[in-house]
Chain A
Amino acid sequence: MIANNIQLDEQGRLKHFLSIEGFKRQHLVNILDAAEPFANVHEQAVKKVPLLRGKTIVNLFFEASTRTRTTFELAAKRLSADVLNININTSATSKGESLLDMLHNLEAMHCDMFIVRHNQSGAAHLIAQHVSPHISVINAGDGCHSHPTQAMLDMFTIRRHKKEFADLKVVIVGDILHSRVARSQIHALTTLGVSEVRVVGPKTLIPKQIESLGVHVFHDLQEALIGADVVIMLRLQKERMQGALLPSENEYYHLYGLTEQKLKLAKPDAIVMHPGPINRGVEIASSIADGPQSVILEQVTNGIAIRMAVMSQTLGRSHELPKSSRDNA
Chain B
Amino acid sequence: MTTCSELDQSKFNSTLNLEQLLDTMHQAINKKLQSLNKDDVVMIGIHTGGFWVAEKLYKKLGLTSPLGSLNISFYRDDFTKIGLHPEVKPSQLPTDINDKHIILIDDVLFTGRTVRAALNEIFDYGRPASVTLAVLLDRGERELPIYADIIGQKITLKAGQQIKLCGPDPLKLVQNKC
Contact = CB atoms under 8 A, between A and B. Distances in A.
A107 interface: no
B108 A44 contact: no
Interface stretch (B12-20, B54-62, B120-128): B120-128
A34 B84 contact: yes
A322 B78 CA distance: 9
A319 B82 CA distance: 9
A316 B79 contact: yes
B173 interface: no
Given A37-B90, A37-B91, A329-B114, A322 B124 contact: no
B81 A318 contact: yes
A324 B116 CA distance: 20
Contacts of B88: 34, 36-37
A320 interface: yes
Given A30-B86, A37-B74, A44 B110 contact: no
**Chain A contact residues: helix, strand, loop or mixed:** loop
Interface in B50-83: 71, 73-83
B111 interface: yes
A56 to B, nearest CB: 14
Chain B contact-residue range equals 35 or more
Nearest to B73: A37
Contacts of B79: 51, 316
Contacts of B109: 329
A320 B109 CA distance: 26
A8 to B, nearest CB: 14
Contacts of B74: 37, 41, 49-51
B110 A327 contact: yes
A317 B86 contact: no
A254 to B, nearest CB: 45
A30 B88 CA distance: 10
B82 A318 contact: yes
Given A37-B74, A49-B124, A50-B75, A328 B114 contact: yes
Interface string B97-120: 010000000001111011000001
Given A45-B125, A51-B79, A316 B90 contact: no
Nearest to B78: A328
A328 B75 CA distance: 12
B84 A36 contact: no
B6 interface: no
Given A37-B88, A327-B110, A328-B111, A316 B83 contact: yes
B131 to A, nearest CB: 16
Contact of A318 (B75, B80, B92): B80
Nearest to B107: A329
A45 B120 contact: no
A327 B160 CA distance: 10
A66 interface: no
A93 B106 CA distance: 54
Interface in B147-178: 160, 162
Nearest to B110: A329
Contacts of A326: 111
Given A34-B84, A44-B125, A322-B82, 19 more contacts: A13-B83, A33-B87, A36-B90, A37-B91, A40-B91, A41-B74, A44-B124, A45-B126, A46-B123, A46-B125, A48-B124, A50-B74, A318-B82, A323-B81, A327-B162, A328-B77, A328-B113, A329-B110, A329-B113
16 contacts: A13-B83, A34-B86, A36-B90, A37-B74, A37-B90, A45-B124, A46-B125, A49-B74, A49-B121, A51-B79, A51-B84, A313-B84, A316-B79, A318-B82, A326-B111, A327-B111
Interface of B: 1, 71, 73-84, 86-92, 98, 108-111, 113-114, 120-121, 123-126, 160, 162
9 interchain residue pairs of minimum CB distance: A329-B110, A49-B74, A37-B90, A46-B124, A40-B90, A316-B83, A30-B86, A322-B82, A316-B84
